[in-house]
């Protein structure tokens, strides 16, 4: 019978947990032994007792070496990785471009790593897509942060004292985070316009009641995996010119343009910030990668030119209850593919498992991660 360990997250600011009582119950029903580190769910409002009631065994922090699979949210630190048994398995978000030393450790110790951020964008894998589930949280929270800082009402109000016009909101990017931001802003009563480099996004934006901002020379910029492609500086300039007109009138701007592991494109210049109404708010969901706004400070809330710019990172961790529940379901659906009569089997013929396989049997398997080491070798 294979053992799954759910450790307590240790990275600064990480409040989520990789398993819920429901996912633990399902693992146990499938024949796995589930161990949960004491206090692992505390920040996500899940007690040790709730895990025990679901069939888990509560353990101390020194149980990594006994596990056949360690499931986490954030990637382990190198000190934590050293607790894994050689040839063991770990599953977490990784973002390979930020974790080269960790990937090297996995490779050198024959650790099999499944990276939740590398789940292939195919229909069958939608229930495992962590980037989408967590982006839903980010898009929702971004609008709430903006509304809490805004010195105006969001909706149209008709009162005995007069009519209050709706706040104007511009959303950059209509991926999962952007669409959730659009939907949330509309629910709050904002007048919403949005832009995206993918033509397919136009219909999605308009279906939510927002207006799509057309950019001259636009073409479909979506790759075969469903991700936005990296665009040319020329297109970004055209986009800036067109969108700048809307930004100059916007009370709220939400930016979501981010390709994991790459610097965020600069979509909102200092001049655009200067053009905004006094008291306006920008929430930059790409802050951890340098920001879509030229004045964003990662992890900070700053005021520039009478505009509040929110660069808070890891927004899902600010809503750990539902963010954890969604993440746990993603993990459950992926791990279920490995379960075989109470054991865990690396079924690499499965396109979902193979698609997110980062390291295995002493090799870096994923093409995106391989490229990092090939580039380093070429430069040396």
Residue-level length of the chain: 380
The one catalytic residue among 68, 129, 251, 284: 129
User: How confident is the model at residue 170, as a pLDDT?
Assistant: 98
Average pLDDT by stretches of 10, the chain with 380 residues: 96 97 98 97 98 97 92 97 94 94 96 96 95 97 98 96 97 95 98 89 95 76 58 75 92 92 90 97 96 97 98 97 98 97 95 97 91 63
**Contacts for 119 with CB less than 8 Å, ≥ 6 apart:** 125, 128, 129, 130, 131, 330, 334, 352, 355, 356
Give the per-residue pLDDT at 209.
96
The pLDDT score that the predictor gives to residue 220 is: 57
How many CB atoms are located within 10 Å of the residue 292 CB?
Answer: 24
Return d(Cα 284, Cα 255) in angstroms, integer.
5
Q: Residues 126, 238, 275, 298: which is the catalytic one?
A: 126
Which pLDDT score, from 0 to 100, does residue 370 have?
87
User: Residue 227 catalytic?
Assistant: yes
Stated as kind and residue range, the H or E segment containing 323 is helix 320-335
> What pLDDT is stored for residue 380 in this prediction?
45
CA distance 201 to 189: 21
Angle 14-92-139 from CA coordinates, rounded to 5°: 55
Cα 69 to Cα 1, 52, 177, 328, 344: the distances in Å are 12, 19, 30, 15, 8
What one-character-per-residue DSSP string does 109-171 give? TT-EEEEGGG---SGGGGGG-HHHHHHHHHHHHHHHHHHHH-SS-SS-EEETTEEEPPPEEEE
121 catalytically annotated: yes
**Domains defined along the chain, listed by start:** 3-118+320-365 (3.40.50.720), 136-318 (3.40.50.720)
Give residue 156's pLDDT: 96
Three-state DSSP state, 83: coil
Show the tokens assigned to 107. 């490779």
Question: Is 51 labeled as catalytic in the residue annotation?
Answer: no
**Catalytic member of 227, 238, 269, 275:** 227
The active-site residue out of 20, 63, 132, 180 is 132
Asked if 126 is an active-site residue, the reply is: yes
> Which pLDDT value is given to residue 285?
97
Catalytic residue among 121, 187, 304, 368: 121
> What's phi and psi for 193, nearest 5 deg?
-125, 150
Residue 217, beta-bridge partner list = none
Give residue 242's pLDDT. Answer: 85
In the prediction, which pLDDT does 63 show?
86
């Amino acid at each position: 019978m294979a053992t799954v360990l759910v450790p307590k997250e240790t990275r600064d600011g990480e409040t989520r947990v990789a398993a819920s009582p429901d996912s633990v119950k399902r693992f146990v029903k499938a024949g796995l032994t589930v161990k949960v580190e004491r206090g692992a769910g505390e920040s996500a409002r899940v007690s040790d007792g709730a895990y025990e009631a679901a069939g888990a065994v509560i353990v101390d922090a020194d149980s990594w070496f006994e596990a056949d699979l360690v499931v986490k949210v954030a990637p382990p630190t190198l000190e934590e990785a050293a607790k894994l048994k050689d040839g063991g398995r770990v599953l977490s978000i990784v973002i390979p471009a930020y974790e080269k030393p960790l990937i090297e450790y996995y490779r050198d110790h024959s650790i099999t790593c499944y990276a939740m951020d590398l789940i292939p964008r195919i229909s069958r894998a939608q229930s495992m897509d962590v980037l989408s589930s967590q982006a839903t949280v980010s898009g929702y929270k971004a609008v709430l942060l903006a509304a809490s800082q805004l010195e105006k009402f969001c909706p149209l109000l008709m009162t005995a004292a007069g009519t209050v016009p709706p706040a104007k909101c511009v959303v950059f990017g209509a991926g999962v985070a952007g669409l959730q931001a659009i939907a949330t802003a509309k629910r709050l009563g904002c007048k919403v316009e949005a832009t995206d480099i993918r033509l397919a996004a136009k219909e999605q934006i308009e279906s939510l009641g927002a207006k799509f901002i057309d950019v001259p020379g636009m073409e479909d910029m979506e790759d075969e995996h469903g991700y936005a492609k990296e665009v040319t500086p020329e297109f970004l300039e055209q986009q800036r010119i067109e969108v700048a007109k809307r930004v100059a009138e916007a009370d709220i701007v939400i930016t979501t343009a981010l390709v994991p592991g790459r610097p965020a494109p600069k979509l909102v210049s200092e001049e655009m910030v200067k053009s905004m109404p006094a008291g306006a708010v920008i929430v930059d969901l790409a802050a951890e990668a340098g920001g879509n706004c030229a004045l964003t400070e990662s992890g900070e809330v700053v005021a520039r030119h009478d505009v509040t710019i929110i660069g808070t990172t890891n927004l899902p961790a600010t809503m750990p209850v539902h963010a954890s529940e969604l993440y746990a379901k993603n993990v459950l659906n992926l791990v279920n593919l490995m379960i075989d009569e109470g054991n865990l089997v690396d079924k690499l013929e499965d396109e979902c498992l193979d698609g997110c396989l980062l390291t295995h049997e002493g090799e870096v398997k994923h093409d995106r991660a391989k490229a990092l080491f090939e580039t380093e070798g070429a430069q040396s």
